[in-house]
Structure 1
Amino acid sequence: MSRRGHYVRTVLGLGVALAAGAALLFGAPAQSGEPQPVALTAAWPGAARGSVPSKLADGSEFTPGLFLDAKTSVGTAQSADSKTLRLVVRDPDGNLLELRKVPAEHRAPFAGLTLSGNTLIWVESIDGKQQLWSGDRHDPKTARMLTADVGAMQFYDSDHDLVVADGRVHWVAGGKGDETEFRSVALTGGPVTVTTQKGTWSLAAWPWAVDGQHSARGTTTLRNLTTGATVATPSAERSVTGCGATWCQMVSINEDGYSRIELSHPDGSARRKILEGNVETAITDVAVLDRFEVLAKVTSQSELSGNQQLVVYDLSNRHLVLVSPDAANITYRAGVLWWSTGDQSSYIRNSLDLRTI
């Protein structure tokens, strides 16, 4: 479950905790009239798919942070002697290209992996200090630090935590009091530009930003960082709103204590119900690629396995597609959706390139 999904469920549970909690714990029949999911192979037979074992050939763990396509990934791997953590590109045959390495005492040192052309951008955390790095995905010799002047970087487990636009890398950082810093640096490095805005903001598809990251209501405003124009987003009582540049997602609890998920454009137009029942948002981003709403359904098996059904609502034809009946650690970046199947001792990460649908 995404951080936003957990946050939404926590907030909405304040008003209807008993009803919703009972539904989630013990399960419930499908809501009448709800769409039944279509199997992935039937809905999208030509979609590119892949799978990545959790361990490398030498037995060390591999944690992907970005899929370049369904079978090529970038992530963190421990060295065979356990002394270093490496940032590597793993190709479809399991071959590794090492881009960077740091001492193993730095836990989770690589984050925010983003690709622009062949340039990979990432954040390194060393001794509690963050730095922004880049390099050609094919050439380890090109890895270089862009800047250490990153401020108090704020990541929201979103595809837009780092945004590349107009030859610059953009991110948000915590400011003084109730302020957000919008920071950027050229892809070639150099001085960092900083502007501030009251509120807690995150980036969406450039040039938009959304507020309400720490608000019980969620997003209330979109702001164009180029023109300064704003758009007030839809909201309702006992509802939490999350928005991207094109779509907003409203999550509420219905009269029976189940989740109700709706989508509309930020101006409130084209509002529609997506799904209702034992369902929650699975990732932070809303309607990725302006087409796919990624959701997780709680089933009677979820209490036993801790996993969920991974389903995707296709806005182009209003079909609900069953991607996996038993998914954990659901993640999305740059057009590729991936999730884990199996248990903690032996699991596989499965991937689906939504750009190929």
Structure 2
Amino acid sequence: MPERPPLMRTLVALAVTLAAGAALLFGAPARSGPPQPLSVGAAWPGAERGSVPSHLADGSTYAPGLFLDARTSIGTARSADNKTLRLLVIGPEGSERQLRRVPSTDRGPFSALTSSGDTLVWVETVKSKPQLWTADLRSDGSARMLTADVGGLRLYDSQFDVTVAGGIVRWAAAEGDGTEFRSVAVTGGPVTVQRVAGNWGLSAWPWAVDGQTSATGTSTLRNLSTGQDVAVPTARRAVTACSPAWCELVSLNEEGDTRIELSHPDGSARRVAAEGPVGTVIGDVVVLDRFAVFGRTGPQSELSGNQELLVYDLTDRSTVLVSPDAADISYRGGVLWWSTGDRNSYVRNSLDLRTV
């Protein structure tokens, strides 16, 4: 490259000096676009996290259905030959405790796991017919069936599909064009049925939400103890889902991107939580009345099928990146979990949001 003339070298040096001085004086130019989310370690350094391998020591595949804390899970282990299903408690150091073992013929995996204190309840399906079972987590005693009288059990992949409160197990069932709210004592006994018109699902007790199959989602919250109804403001071009404390409204903005907004059921405190190539990824709204969980697709999502896992914290309106490459995202009882890796080798990671 030919050498610059002396005058040109002087002008270039002067320009560089002036640019450096301006940067020192005024700071670097501001980056355009929304602020980048913090990592979990930066935002919540004290949060408890854990992981569970996809295969146990004997080679059985394992799928958690509930985390008691970040390092203790309960889930289904399917034997390598696919002949057996086990319901196990997996401890922090990989310890295993069997709650139930059944032949896999004509059976679906244990599902809708929920707990209250030391009481564990789940759905067990035999020849396409669901049953409710329970076990005491304090003892090694055998599990027992609570009832097979569950009606047309509705499962929406929500932590409230089956609830345990005040010694009573509750769930919703389909009945024609209406809904049955069913309940049974955790000690067993007859099933109580309350029939209502419309398509309802359970939320945090004593609340229920309607619109489970409606194109626009929730329009009413109902207190099942008092009969009080609370109307929820809806928008024609938005899908609404609600808990007793918060509603989530998903719509399209002017550019055709997804917009996720949050507000109280009366419409107050409305704010945008996420916008762009985003979507909801769990069946519950603003968990722990604080965290909205959503996913965001990126350039590699079409190839991997995975997405960024993000959590919006309502306390300071910040967004936290939980995982840049997550799949099989689930939540129950305060713990969020997801898979990383590929179908042949993956790990399920967990984050206890109660410890944030």
* C-alpha distance in structure 1 between counterparts of 2:235 and 2:99, whole Å: 47
Q: Contact 1:263–1:273 (CA<8 Å) still a contact in 2?
A: yes
Which residue number corresponds to residue 26 of structure 2? none
Q: Contact 1:54–1:347 (CA<8 Å) still a contact in 2?
A: yes
Q: TM-score, normalised by structure 2?
A: 0.89
**Deviation larger for 308-317 or 126-135:** 126-135
Q: How has the CA–CA distance of structure 1 residues 243 and 108 changed in structure 2, closer, same or farther, with 3 Å as cutoff?
A: same
* C-alpha distance in structure 1 between counterparts of 2:227 and 2:301, whole Å: 45
Query: What secondary structure sits across from 1:120 in the alignment?
Result: strand
Amino acid at match of 1:41: G
* C-alpha distance in structure 1 between counterparts of 2:346 and 2:109, whole Å: 23
Query: What secondary structure sits across from 2:87 in the alignment?
Result: strand
Which residue number corresponds to residue 305 of structure 2? 306
For these two proteins, the number of residue pairs brought into alignment is 326
Which residue number corresponds to residue 316 of structure 1? 315
Shift of 1:310: 0.3
Q: Contact 1:297–1:311 (CA<8 Å) still a contact in 2?
A: yes
- 1:73-222 correspondence runs (5 A): 73-79=73-79, 82-176=82-176, 178-222=177-221
Q: Is 1:46–2:43 an aligned residue pair?
A: no
Q: Contact 1:283–1:331 (CA<8 Å) still a contact in 2?
A: yes
Which residue number corresponds to residue 282 of structure 1? 281
Amino acid at match of 1:344: R
Amino acid at match of 1:342: G
Structure 2 runs not aligned, ≥5 long: 1-31
Q: Contact 1:88–1:97 (CA<8 Å) still a contact in 2?
A: yes
Q: Contact 1:75–1:87 (CA<8 Å) still a contact in 2?
A: yes
Q: Contact 1:210–1:221 (CA<8 Å) still a contact in 2?
A: yes
Q: Contact 2:107–2:128 (CA<8 Å) still a contact in 1?
A: no
Query: What secondary structure sits across from 2:354 in the alignment?
Result: helix
* C-alpha distance in structure 1 between counterparts of 2:333 and 2:215, whole Å: 28
* C-alpha distance in structure 2 between counterparts of 1:296 and 1:51, whole Å: 20
Query: RMSD in angstroms over aligned alpha carbons?
Result: 1.4
Q: Is 1:37–2:37 an aligned residue pair?
A: yes
Query: What secondary structure sits across from 2:215 in the alignment?
Result: coil
* C-alpha distance in structure 2 between counterparts of 1:134 and 1:122, whole Å: 6
Shift of 1:84: 1.5
Q: Contact 2:61–2:80 (CA<8 Å) still a contact in 1?
A: no
Shift of 1:166: 2.3
* C-alpha distance in structure 1 between counterparts of 2:303 and 2:227, whole Å: 49
* C-alpha distance in structure 1 between counterparts of 2:342 and 2:138, whole Å: 33
Shift of 1:81: 5.7
Q: Over residues 262-300 of structure 1, what are the superposed CA-to-partner deviations in whole Å (9 max), with x where a residue is unaligned?
A: 001111111111111111111110100000000101111
Q: Over residues 235-255 of structure 1, what are the superposed CA-to-partner deviations in whole Å (9 max), with x where a residue is unaligned?
A: 112100001111000000011
Q: Over residues 39-91 of structure 1, what are the superposed CA-to-partner deviations in whole Å (9 max), with x where a residue is unaligned?
A: 11100011000011100011110010001110110000124664321001011
Query: What secondary structure sits across from 1:141 in the alignment?
Result: coil
Amino acid at match of 2:299: S
Q: Contact 1:34–1:276 (CA<8 Å) still a contact in 2?
A: no
Q: Over residues 189-219 of structure 1, what are the superposed CA-to-partner deviations in whole Å (9 max), with x where a residue is unaligned?
A: 1011101111111111010000001100100
* C-alpha distance in structure 1 between counterparts of 2:72 and 2:107, whole Å: 24
Which residue number corresponds to residue 61 of structure 1? 61
Shift of 1:34: 3.2
Q: Contact 1:34–1:275 (CA<8 Å) still a contact in 2?
A: no
Q: Contact 2:162–2:171 (CA<8 Å) still a contact in 1?
A: yes
* C-alpha distance in structure 2 between counterparts of 1:319 and 1:284, whole Å: 21
Shift of 1:234: 1.9
Q: TM-score, normalised by structure 1?
A: 0.89
- In our comparison, the structure showing a higher alpha carbon Rg is 2
Shift of 1:301: 1.4
* Percentage of pairs with the same residue: 64
Which residue number corresponds to residue 333 of structure 1? 332
Amino acid at match of 2:210: D
* C-alpha distance in structure 2 between counterparts of 1:201 and 1:179, whole Å: 8
Amino acid at match of 1:167: G
Query: What secondary structure sits across from 1:300 in the alignment?
Result: coil
Shift of 1:304: 1.6
Shift of 1:35: 4.0
Amino acid at match of 1:278: P
* C-alpha distance in structure 1 between counterparts of 2:138 and 2:94, whole Å: 15
